[in-house]
Amino acid sequence: MSHPSPIERRETLEFRSMKVEDIDAIVAIEQEVFAAPWTAEAFHNELKQNMFAKYMVMEQDGDILGYGGMWLIVDEAHVTNIAIRERYQGQGLGKLLLGEMMKTAHWLGAKRMTLEVRVSNEVAQRLYRRFGFEPSGIRPGYYSDNMEDALIMWADLEPEVWTRQEPAGSPARSGNRRGASRAAEGEQA
């Protein structure tokens, strides 16, 4: 018997601020999806010492499916990382998570968002373009594992962009508070 995918049960998806207790699960995701994963210490420092950092998790039934982080400085949000567990990739969860991050950044006063992405990561670039991100430059040798260049992308944080991306019946469109972001409601990490 096959189980419904997380996206088929999107009404049970929940977004919340990352907590120190989440770090082990987050590091496991990092190791699954990134060639140069962040360490537990790096996340601990982000949550406890970086006053500009805002990290959130996407979970379902207590299982963390993905997470995203950003630094909020003045009126800009800089995405530090965004990841979905390998087994859940390709189901639209990255789209939901990015939309939630953009809404949260906007709610917290950011007008623009930036990120870096590997020049070879065309799948992620397509996702970012759907949300209005446009290339603005290259950071040569940015990734330490293979010295690959990073494409710098920027987007204006306009609600119509992420609203257009949300499917009918999604928590953000239906007003389902369980699926709405508590990260934007001032929960402490």
Annotated catalytic residue: which of 128, 143, 148, 187?
128
41 catalytic residue (yes or no): no
* Edge-to-edge strand list for the sheet holding 63-73: 13-17, 53-60, 63-73, 76-84, 112-118, 150-156, 134-139
30 is catalytic: no
Catalytic site residue from 116, 148, 160, 185: 116
Q: Is 27 exposed, middle or buried (0-12, 13-18, 19+ CB in 10 A)?
A: middle
Residue with tokens 């977004």: 15
Element (H, E) at 140: none
- List residues with catalytic annotation: 116, 128
